[in-house]
Structure 1
Amino acid sequence: MRALLILAAGPAVVEEVVLNAVGFHAARGLAPQVTAVWPYDSYHDLRWLLVYHDSWPTFLFGLLAVTLFRGVLTAGLTALAWPDGTPRPPLGWLVRRNLEVAALAAVIISPWAVLSVAFAVVGLSWYLLASLVPMLLLTPFLQRAGVVGRWWRGLPSIELLGWSLLNFAVLTIAGAVISATPGWWTVVVSGLAGVANGLLWRQTVAAAAVPRRVRLARVPVAPIALALILVGAVMAQSLIHVAVGRSGDWRPPVLATRLPERVPHAIIVIAGHDSSWDGRPAVDPRVERFSYRGLDAKGHPVAYRAEDTHRSVASSTVLLAAQIDRLHRRTGRPIALLGQSEGAMVARTYLELLPRSSVEAVLLFSPLAQPGRAYYPPPGHSGWGVAAGWELRILFALANLPRRVKNSPDEPFVRSVLADAPFYRNRTLCPVPGVRMIAFLPTVTAAEAPPGEYARIPVYQLPAFHGGLVGRQAAEERVVDFLAGDLTSRPRREYALFQRLGAAWQAPPLVQSLNPIWAAHRENDPALTGRICDAR
């Protein structure tokens, strides 16, 4: 037992020591997963590899290295965890079998690990949540595979599923505690989490080696489950598209009602990604819908389609600047911007490029939480995350087959976020002199924000999913109050807790100084400091 606990705690302690030594604040919560049960351990390895490789040879060598490391380590953990009184297979058999499982896990888990990289790029929680669900489904099958011969037949026992889910809870809590623990005390927490992993290895190996009862013992359940999980990686794109999409004519209440007289502004409403607009004007002449296609010859915003929202943030900002000038001249009023998701990023980019303008108030609904934390180069180029980029392209190409509106990991909007990632990671929710700002954040954003500081402007938080705030009565009331000059801020107590609970399952951010594409930016790196809004 002592040897098992030492082997389970040792790698977690070593990784935590290294992360503390280099000051990698945002990734500290990942260390306990290095000795977790299948497949959390492989999910840990693949997220590091998919972010931290800068060429195909580096990726292939790294994949071989982590497969060998994972197979040998889990074989040792399995041998030491073997239940007393039960014949154990030879160590050579365990090593071969766990190497096979490590290779299989790399194939099965890689599409889901790359979704976590997509989350790190766009900061959208749906990708993170989608990447975690198959981990919970895979764990009893892969844990059984490393222990018994004919693991593909029959359902895993309920005990094996229960112990594996408990490991997920332990890793989540350990990541949360580490993210809240200062200094080198995180090493102690990682060591304790590693000990817990060792105890759970003992329970899961016993449950796999000596099951009480195997249901559907003649049915090849595991291959069916693994095939469905692989297919699910493609279907997840469509499900995320449905969950996030605001297709059609998005009309929040501010477009459908007249503004109270106490609101002194004219307002431009900027919808999010994949939205569309049929050209119908707002009820109040002081309110306009931002057009991703620009203005017509008479200065009126033009109707647009979902595909038009895929343009780069910079080009949208140019269109927004023209519309702001036109609306200000027409009404003679100061301008307020109300942006959701991509629209929030366009509004914030405008403030950075043109901080002294007629814009006096900005309301950011569901802004992306520190996007650009990972990178992949454009097609035909090499660089950090090259393999992750191609895997994302394959997943999106398959998911796009039944869609009318195609999404791509290389569309101009995504590439513009990747190009200016240091700014978006550091300054999205930072104040701008002379502009009143507020961020309306759904509670799910807590899982999107990495450990550390995430906002220095007033925030109003409500229980909701991404994009689900506009139209909520409480939020709409606060919009009018804020525009009328009231101080509006309501952070929720549970937000910090949810932020810490999500820390263990985010992909490690790419350190800004490593990527030559970001070399010209003079921005602080929150991944290292845990702070935002500071210049480098």
Structure 2
Amino acid sequence: MPPAPRRRREILQEAGRHDEETTVGSGRVRTIALLLLSALPPTLEGAAVAALGFQAARGLAPQASAVWPYHVYHDMRWLLVYHNSIPGFAVELLAVTLLRGLYSAALVALSWPAEVPRPPPRWLIRRNVEIAALAMVVVSPWAAFSVAFATVTLAWFLLASLVPMLILSPFLIRAGTVSHWWRGLPSGQLVGWSALNLVLLTLAGACAASVPGWWAVPVVAVAGAANGLIRRRTVHEAVLPGRMRWARVPVAPLAIVLIMVLAVLTQAVVGIAGRGTRGEWQPPMVTRPLPAQVRHAVIAIAGHDSGYDGRQPVDPRVERFSYRGLDGQGRPVPYHPKDTHRSLESSAALLAAQVAAVHRRTGRPVALIGQSEGAMVVVTYLKASPGSPVDAAVLFSPLLRPGRSYYPPPQARSGWGVVGGWELRWMIGLANLVRENDQNADEPFIRSLLDRGPFYRNYALCPVPGVRMVAFLPTSSAVEAPPGQYAGIPVVQRPGFHGAILYQEPVQEEIQAVLAGATLHQRRREYDVLQQLAAAWQAPPLAIRLNPV
């Protein structure tokens, strides 16, 4: 077993003198072998992705040889999307765990500092296989988050899943190299090198996603070799630590428990559908009168977990959409947050009845303004109702390419993503214990996105004949889908987060301009950059031909 961490000077003194020529020569050979071995998996994955034309997954390949736990996060995202039975997942998980452990042991051996005796290969293999198994368990809930993210495409999921990887990395790096890894805080240098690897993976993923076709292969090969250099530094820092703080405290187990608890608490705060609207929804078009030149009757549609107490908007030309339908006088009925969990198809049917009632009562053309889930209700209605009285639609924070992942209903015992679905159900069930409004991984709204994934993924933001459509996208939505242009309608990109840009004063003027007949189209430079930087951390989408519906 490798020595317990001691001061760098003491270890070097005990190591004695080495023959300089032998050390330098073998060091060169080991460095070349390390670089080649580190570059191999990213190169093979990059070539396979290029050969298949799998554009959305090009940013993931550099992670195949990253340090702990980024490579495991890479593996688990692929596994949770691409398995179609529980026994199949178990076999795949076992195979990947063994391969990851063997591969990591080889990289650690090649990275080992020459001045310290290296532990036997058997110890390195056993230790790295054990850590691979541990990492698979700890990272799995966050990889399941990534599957949920690919379903509802909200930036919170992506951002929430990266923080635990950054926290875990220094601890797991030590775990694969030294015996008493679970005690003491990692050194600042080790934290810095592991953070640098995250930065490298982000930049390499952005480059791989932005270059055409096969050019991504040399990009990921270079990134893989750079992973090897970072791994060598992390192994040196783990084996030859400086002064260790809290040397007797079991910090690593505490950090792992914290990460597992955070997986549930984060789900409790964010929710699987992200809560684009919280509680009573009172945007300016509801609380202020519209300009006189607006000739439309306007229906405003709130997002997930919103509520409506029945208060009428200030302007009589504006009406709130109700997720519970209309009363006997054709007026929207108050609703509770739970009512927004219905399927998009049923919500669109309620909207169709309300559009007809408003048009019949006012004689005006109808304009729809929808936010988040409300925007998806609008596009579902428009695709199902050609020739309707609606001739203008404004979409705020629509979900970008939702339905990229899949998991079958709970009664199914097999199907693509079946284990990921059950993991989400367990996490959401635990989160419901500390949450006011219960969520459900199979609520009708979520199943709408899953069961009509190909439509929402590729056609939701396509133009509808006879309808002027504009989508307002916050800059946070740039990280919600792989790099690309997914809107066939005009877009206005605004700085902000999901569901927040509707309240910006300039946006109110733009809404009025759209309702008055203007067509807006405004792109921001940073949007494309953010898309590329997020490419490395997307979950691989399920190929459309594999979607059972």
TM over 0.5: yes
2:199 corresponding residue in structure 1 = 169
Give runs of aligned pairs for residues 109-258 of structure 1, distance below 5 A: 109-241=139-271, 244=275, 246-258=277-289
Native 8 Å contact 1:147 1:208 kept in 2? yes
1:383 corresponding residue in structure 2 = 415
Native 8 Å contact 2:154 2:274 kept in 1? no
* Greater shift in the superposed pair: 457-466 or 132-141: 457-466
Give runs of aligned pairs for residues 317-466 of structure 1, distance below 5 A: 317-381=348-412, 382-466=414-498
Q: d(CA) in 1 for partners of 2:406 and 2:135?
A: 24
Q: d(CA) in 2 for partners of 1:183 and 1:293?
A: 49
Give 2:491's aligned amino acid: V
1:503 corresponding residue in structure 2 = 535
Native 8 Å contact 2:475 2:496 kept in 1? yes
The one of 25, 42, 47 equivalent to 1:12 is 42
The one of 256, 272, 279 equivalent to 2:310 is 279
| Per-residue CA distance 1:482-504 (angstroms, 9 max, x = gap) | 11112222110110000010000
1:520 corresponding residue in structure 2 = none
Task: Give the match's secondary structure for 2:512.
Answer: helix
| Per-residue CA distance 1:301-346 (angstroms, 9 max, x = gap) | 0000000000000000000000000101111111110000000000
CA drift of 1:270 comes to: 0.4
Native 8 Å contact 1:443 1:462 kept in 2? yes
Q: d(CA) in 1 for partners of 2:265 and 2:436?
A: 16
1:313 corresponding residue in structure 2 = 344
Q: d(CA) in 2 for partners of 1:296 and 1:243?
A: 30
1:262 corresponding residue in structure 2 = 293
* Greater shift in the superposed pair: 287-296 or 479-488: 479-488
1:487 aligns with 2:485: no
Matched residues, percent identical?
60
Q: d(CA) in 1 for partners of 2:519 and 2:487?
A: 16
1:87 corresponding residue in structure 2 = 117
2:74 corresponding residue in structure 1 = 44
2:97 corresponding residue in structure 1 = 67
Task: Give the match's secondary structure for 1:264.
Answer: coil
Native 8 Å contact 1:19 1:25 kept in 2? yes
* Greater shift in the superposed pair: 474-483 or 335-344: 474-483
| Per-residue CA distance 1:454-480 (angstroms, 9 max, x = gap) | 212111111111111111111111111
Give 1:42's aligned amino acid: V
CA drift of 1:453 comes to: 2.1
2:24 corresponding residue in structure 1 = none
CA drift of 1:243 comes to: 7.0
CA drift of 1:229 comes to: 0.5
Give 2:284's aligned amino acid: P
Native 8 Å contact 2:483 2:528 kept in 1? no
Cα pair distance change 1:42/1:309, threshold 3 Å = same
Task: Give the match's secondary structure for 1:360.
Answer: strand
1:533 corresponding residue in structure 2 = none
Native 8 Å contact 1:244 1:466 kept in 2? no
* Aligned residue-pair number: 517
Which aligned segments of 4 or more residues in structure 1 are displaced greater than 3 angstroms?
Answer: 241-245
| Per-residue CA distance 1:85-121 (angstroms, 9 max, x = gap) | 1211111111100000000001100001100000001
Native 8 Å contact 2:276 2:498 kept in 1? no
Native 8 Å contact 1:79 1:88 kept in 2? yes
Q: d(CA) in 2 for partners of 1:21 and 1:492?
A: 32
Bigger radius of gyration among the two = 2
Q: d(CA) in 2 for partners of 1:58 and 1:456?
A: 39
Q: d(CA) in 2 for partners of 1:10 and 1:243?
A: 38
Q: d(CA) in 1 for partners of 2:73 and 2:427?
A: 18
Q: d(CA) in 1 for partners of 2:278 and 2:328?
A: 27
Q: Normalised by the size of structure 1, how large is the TM-score?
A: 0.95
CA drift of 1:246 comes to: 2.5
Task: Give the match's secondary structure for 2:110.
Answer: helix
* Greater shift in the superposed pair: 351-360 or 245-254: 245-254
Give 1:144's aligned amino acid: R
Native 8 Å contact 1:234 1:396 kept in 2? yes
Q: d(CA) in 2 for partners of 1:26 and 1:10?
A: 21
Give 1:452's aligned amino acid: G
| Per-residue CA distance 1:126-157 (angstroms, 9 max, x = gap) | 11111111001000000110010000000000
Give 1:417's aligned amino acid: L
Q: d(CA) in 1 for partners of 2:291 and 2:93?
A: 60
Q: Which runs of 5+ in 2 are unaligned?
A: 1-30
Q: d(CA) in 2 for partners of 1:47 and 1:256?
A: 44
Q: d(CA) in 1 for partners of 2:269 and 2:112?
A: 41
CA drift of 1:452 comes to: 2.0
